[in-house]
Amino acid sequence: MDTIPAAARNGGSMKDTLLKRFAEVFGDAEGARVYFAPGRVNLIGEHTDYNGGHVFPCALTIGTYGVARKRADDKLRFYSMNFEKLGVIESSLEDLKPSKDAGWTNYPKGVMWAFGEKGMKVPHGMDLMLFGNIPNGSGLSSSASVEVLTGYILKEFFGFEVSNQDIALIGQYSENNFNMVNCGIMDQFAIAMGRKNCAIFLDTADLSFEYAPIALEGAKIVIASSNKKRGLGDSKYNERRSECETALAELQGEIEIASLGDLDEETFEKHKSAIHSDVRRKRAKHAVYENRRTIRAVEALKRNDVAEFGQLMNASHVSLRDDYEVTGIELDTLVEEAWKVPGVIGSRMTGAGFGGCTVSIVKDESIDTFIEQVGKAYEAKIGYVADFYVVEIGDGPVEL
């Protein structure tokens, strides 16, 4: 996927390029404003966010651009530069209902609906054009990026008194209740609250958080997209969540805890026999151990011990593969090949799993070798190519 429109590549600014395209689609660009919300990658702490544990994501400098203009009526007109064949998709504020036919527009419509559910009814329609340079289906949270972008535009356009944290919660509410994906808070939170060169150490149990500077002297974050589209992802995601909820209920019969994130490894091992299924025991083990790994990983970074951080990333992948069983041959191949490359500090799958991406910390001098070696091995084994992105950590949503 080409991540930058040709005109912007050829010296024009992204903002000018987007406004020009908006004018071509909607007749003119008068009154249109341009916004950006990032994508995110989670460095460690996977499938802990709905288990009351810690996560450690950061916002990226790739994400979703939106050009929006208020209308005087209640009509909604949507257009995506990523799905140009679909043309302009029309709807209205009277029709904020999820539907298969609405496709990608279910995400912005869901946020408009959620604002209304929270007592902030959207008073006017709008023309909205999106362009995302997050690889589609990669697991870098393009849907959450669209949700936060939409929430930020609604706040700016209509003066709703919401903080960026509120926008994250509304985005999660819309995904849970409009798009029926039982996601945790991490994706929307990381995007709405992003800060340049920092990751967010977030306790999902109470939303307390701190920014932790990421100083990878002589190394960079490299994302590898498996290019396997996640077909099973959402249903398997809901299944894993349900397994953890049942395991928690079984443990609560024996010990007083509010979530799996309340346990350390020792307490879990002592009481795990309360879980009456081997499968659920493995799922709960991952949630508990991954949470503790995340806490230790942030402590390691604070000591500038990037090597230990990398080892914890590797252990995270093994747990996601063996105990949580959400990796699959594509992600396992990317990670296992990454581990063979000298100069790779750590590598793991990131996101929901079943396709999507891996995240690796790679020494600068090894990046070219990493991309070539892992890419070649992946194509030979899987039969199609992976894409690689050397990324930077950026800020949250903004008007350009």
Q: How far apart are CA 253 and CA 235, in angstroms?
A: 28
Long-range contact list for 3-10, CB < 8 A, 24+ apart?
A: 3/62, 3/133, 3/135, 4/133, 5/81, 5/131
Residues 19/78, Cβ–Cβ less than 8 Å: no
Q: Sort residue 271 into left (φ over 0), alpha (ψ -120 to 50) or beta.
A: alpha
Identify which of 121, 143, 124, 131 has the alpha carbon closest to the alpha carbon of residue 40.
143
DSSP string, 25-52: HHS--TT-EEEEEEEEEESS--S-TTTT
Angle between the N-to-C axes of helices 164-177 and 142-158, in degrees from 0 to 180, rounded to the nearest 10: 120
Q: How far apart are CA 397 and CA 43, in angstroms?
A: 20
What is the bridge-based pairing of β-strands 57-70 and 89-92?
unpaired
Exposure class string for 243-270: b at 16+ Cβ within 10 A, else e: bbbbbbebbeeeeebebbbbbeeeebee
Residues 247/284, Cβ–Cβ less than 8 Å: yes
Identify which of 34, 35, 121 has the alpha carbon closest to the alpha carbon of residue 396.
35
CA distances from 240 to 47, 235, 265, 281 (A): 9, 9, 20, 12
Catalytic residues: 187
Residue type, 134: I
Residue type, 113: W
Instruction: List the strands of the sheet with 75-80, edge to edge.
Output: 89-92, 75-80, 126-132, 57-70, 33-42, 398-399
Q: Sort residue 227 into left (φ over 0), alpha (ψ -120 to 50) or beta.
A: left
